[in-house]
Structure 1
Amino acid sequence: MNFICNNKKIFILFKKHKSGEISTSDELTIDGIGSFLEKKGHTLLIKGYAGAGKTTLALQLLKRLGGEKGVYISSRVSPKKLQQQIPWVGDSPKSEMVDVRVGLAASVLEEIVRAVSEKAPVVVLDTWDGLAKEMDEKERLKAEKTLIALADGSETRVIFVSEEPGKTTMDYLVDGIIELVRSEEYGRVFREVEVQKLRGTLIDQHKYLYTLYKGQFKHFHPYREPEHSKLSPVTPKKDTEKGYSFGSDDLDRAFKGIEKGATVTIEYTPKVPYSALRTLFLPLVVNFLSLGRGVVHLPLPGASPHALLKLVGACVKDLKLYRLAVPGSSKDFSAPLFGFSEEQVKEAHKNVSEKLEEVKRLSVDGHALIVDSIGLLENMFSPNLNELLQALAARASRVQREEDIAVFLLPSDSKIKPEILSMSNTHIRVISKDRSIVVMGEKPETEAYVVEHDQNPILPKLWVIV
């Protein structure tokens, strides 16, 4: 970024992205923004509270649309502070910055006239309201109409940044408005980008979650089902100092692994797709099997056992230590499938316990994992919930005593939710927000993360919301 300050030029460039860092190439995929900003002469207002990331977003749009010919006009921050606040400002490609912190509105108009006459692809004015507050109402309206008229019909897109929370005259004059807002849920603050207006452009989704991780603006697309054709074996994760690995680096970083003997409850809301939920516990299943440990799995309600076998089988060479429960008589199934009673809790508990004992005997170190779908069990044994709770409590006690792991998959509307949570050492909550999937630890408490799929779709990619 090439800065003009007191008629002197200071060279500060946009840093190139290293491998593994966030790409700034997707801010144009916020619903409608790409097609909206394709049209030259359009004006866009970016609003939001202090610290929301307005300047970060504006600079990323400048870099994306302007390349070496964009112009950034600042009325509030020096080049030095800009570099401190936004670390990735510092390398190529170059854009021009004009420092008007001690200037008047007239000087801003002069700079925009110059940029338009030079056919700059994009001009960012950060912030307009800092200058506008020094004018009376009539002067401000006249100046704003002049700014819009300069852009209209030209080849230059003009992006205004504003910290004024309410509606102003500028809201009615610009072609598009994006507001960065905050909301609170489950004791966490979520960042949301709200598309309020894009003249002449269809808006399919008005709100997206976003993060400022590593000082860059990244918004999150609606959750997409993974491509199971890309499933492949994963490298087993060794036990952690704390106990067992989740089988995923991202899950281990977020939740610090799993203590031996723990009962982990993953609570999910009705809008969470099964494919998103599975990416939080199937890595653990696959990891246990890959390490030569046994797994007993009671699937989610309505889940296809054969589809599950295919998923797990794509990631593990040998399923001899895997036992997948199917309601019905054991006579009707062969390993890795097994049947369990649909009528009596005690009989079903006995069926599952026998399979757990079987895989523990075959396990390399005598340890095993059991995954219980509370929704499935609750549907099957709704008249006998007290008896079901006793069986699950016995399961949790055995796991703790023998240093295995139990995972309870708990619907958020379960009638036995309080009792299940009281048995749990770890409580992880999964929700759907703005059509993205969010996971957070409640016991122990963690930050909130957006869940996406890694290149190998059995594994999750977690993005912390900061």
Structure 2
Amino acid sequence: MLALSAVSSHKGSVDHIPITRLDGLAHFLRVKGHTLLIKGEPGCGKTTLALRIMEEFGDGNGIYISSRVSETKLYTQISYADKLLSGGKFVDVRLDTLESIIRRMLELRGDNQDVLVVLDTWDGLAKELDDKTRIKTEKTLIALADGSNARFIFVSEEPTKTTMDYLVDGIVELLRTEESGRIIREIVVHKLRGTPIEQHRYLFSLVGGKFNHVPPYVEPDYAKSKTPKPKKDPDPDTYSYGSILDEVFGGIPKGTTLTIEYQENVPYSAIRLITIPLAINFLNMGRSCLYIPLLGANPKQVVDIFKPHVSTEALTQRLRVASAPRQGNKNDEPFFQIERKPVADSHLDVSRVVEELKSKSKDGKALVVDGISLLENMFSSDIERLVESLADRVIRTQRDGDLTVFMLPSRSRLLSQVLSMTQTHIKLWIKDRSVIMAGEKPITDTYTIWPHDNPILPEYIKIV
């Protein structure tokens, strides 16, 4: 599992993910004489990435050559740059000639130093040259790196391919796009000469002014999970998520319904990173919970996740995990079997279980986590009555000040009806092998979900 070198558990933001985890790049950058081109539109994070590479791979011998911004302005834009570039490591060439710049780089190579040189930006200088002179100059720069201990990083804002693309050993491109009105940042690894690349695209964030790529999602290891302290209600009218989602959404209003919409390729385990901390916190606050897993999920596996984190009394008296008839768990505690019978009768059974759980709750409140796909499959021939039963549950939730969480796929026939009854709407989808989360009601920034070392308290990396 990925080891995060520094994590802010209070704010839920990852402060530092080692770039060595970015597929192939660490091996590539350790090779002396290699050249790397960082491409991207203005403002997409190229300078931030270049400085991050210098920080991790420069070994204290990095040189930043700027043809674009002054030292003062760079330090204003990137807070840690002054410390990183102290001791004469910032070289301002905005008024220098190209010949003098090449002379400087030649001096670095001539000393055979183990140095990492960033030229930001190369195209700012190259645009002043005619095509023939530019090609000759670029070949000269690449030749300076070849056979030396120096590594050169060129920053470019030219979106199209140039001669430099064919000459350098590696190319990464930073992209800034929008999805549903939200910023999405990607790093694309186009080539790393001599280095295999298993994953070419990653999400990344510039939170805190630092480049942090997002590792691909991995299944949480619940054997390493630790029981968190119960989180009290943020205020008398709000329940806690039991996680740092309280700081994203401000908690969940009591007497309301939360819907988690997910695309088909989102792992069930990623959805549970939201619902399980919420349910555990409800139980550890002395309340009750009915958990109806998603279609295809193993109810026993869900119970096994709960076991180490709640008391025996909570597990046997205040928790019920539903199962379908064919799953064979019957009604042994904490299981509750949903029988194949008319929707109205099944709904009454569920309502009786909820009322029983509420009678054992410290404050008479209960959480219902409902994987609607299970019910949608069981009662596919009577969808209209199923919607009526869900609406009745929402009404009961509002009346009693409880909390209901619906989980359903984006393709569900019930999605529009369920969302019309929902006060909080969270959407999950997959991009570049990472799980993305965003609030639709209320609208929030975009985050990626990462199990980290404790899946009961997952991390949320903000994409900014």
TM-score (norm 1): 0.93
**Secondary structure of the structure 1 residue equivalent to 2:105:** helix
CA distance in 2, matches of 1:189, 1:127: 24
Larger deviation, residues 21-30 vs 297-306: 21-30
Q: 1:286 aligns with which of 266, 280, 284?
A: 280
- The count of residues paired between Structure 1 and Structure 2 equals 449
Q: 2:324 aligns with which of 324, 327, 330?
A: 327
Contact 1:188 1:447 in 2 (8 A): yes
Contact 2:323 2:329 in 1 (8 A): no
Residue in 1 that maps onto 2:234: 240
Find out whether 1:411 has 2:409 as its counterpart. yes
Larger deviation, residues 344-353 vs 286-295: 344-353
Summarize the alignment of residues 56-71 of structure 1 with structure 2, pairs less than 5 Å apart.
56-71=48-63
Contact 1:70 1:120 in 2 (8 A): no
Q: 1:78 aligns with which of 29, 52, 70?
A: 70
Give the aligned residue type for 1:97: F
Find out whether 1:340 has 2:338 as its counterpart. yes
CA distance in 2, matches of 1:92, 1:171: 28
CA distance in 2, matches of 1:62, 1:312: 44
Find out whether 1:305 has 2:299 as its counterpart. yes
CA distance in 2, matches of 1:60, 1:345: 58
Larger deviation, residues 330-339 vs 426-435: 330-339
Change (3 A) 1:278 1:433: same
Residue in 2 that maps onto 1:222: 216
Residue in 1 that maps onto 2:461: 463
CA distance in 2, matches of 1:456, 1:174: 41
Larger deviation, residues 40-49 vs 223-232: 223-232
Deviation by residue 1:193-235 (Cα, 9 ceiling, x = unmatched)? 0111111221111110000000000001110111111122221
| C-alpha RMSD of matched pairs (Å) | 1.8
Give the aligned residue type for 2:159: P
CA shift, 1:258, in A, is 0.4
CA distance in 2, matches of 1:231, 1:342: 36
**Secondary structure of the structure 1 residue equivalent to 2:245:** helix
Contact 1:68 1:93 in 2 (8 A): no
Residue in 1 that maps onto 2:103: 110
Summarize the alignment of residues 124-163 of structure 1 with structure 2, pairs less than 5 Å apart.
124-163=118-157
CA distance in 1, matches of 2:67, 2:103: 14
Contact 1:69 1:94 in 2 (8 A): no
Residue in 1 that maps onto 2:260: 266
Contact 1:67 1:94 in 2 (8 A): no
Contact 1:67 1:93 in 2 (8 A): no
Contact 1:268 1:410 in 2 (8 A): yes
Larger deviation, residues 234-243 vs 270-279: 234-243
Choose between structure 1 and 2 for higher RCO, CA contacts under 8 A separated by at least 6 residues.
2
**Secondary structure of the structure 1 residue equivalent to 2:309:** coil
Larger deviation, residues 292-301 vs 182-191: 182-191
CA shift, 1:24, in A, is 5.0
Q: Which runs of structure 1 show a deviation greater than 4 angstroms over 4 or more consecutive aligned residues?
A: 21-25, 92-95
**Secondary structure of the structure 1 residue equivalent to 2:446:** strand
Contact 1:236 1:290 in 2 (8 A): yes
CA shift, 1:154, in A, is 1.0
CA distance in 2, matches of 1:19, 1:302: 34
CA distance in 1, matches of 2:17, 2:207: 15
Change (3 A) 1:23 1:185: closer
CA distance in 2, matches of 1:48, 1:24: 22
Contact 1:426 1:443 in 2 (8 A): yes
CA shift, 1:93, in A, is 7.9
Contact 2:329 2:335 in 1 (8 A): no
Larger deviation, residues 309-318 vs 349-358: 309-318
Residue in 2 that maps onto 1:46: 38
Residue in 1 that maps onto 2:441: 443
Contact 2:119 2:152 in 1 (8 A): yes
CA shift, 1:22, in A, is 5.1
CA distance in 2, matches of 1:277, 1:171: 41
Give the aligned residue type for 2:345: E
CA shift, 1:18, in A, is 7.6
CA shift, 1:90, in A, is 3.2
TM-score (norm 2): 0.93
Q: Which runs of 5+ in 1 are unaligned?
A: 1-16
Contact 2:293 2:299 in 1 (8 A): yes
CA distance in 1, matches of 2:20, 2:6: 20
Change (3 A) 1:331 1:448: closer
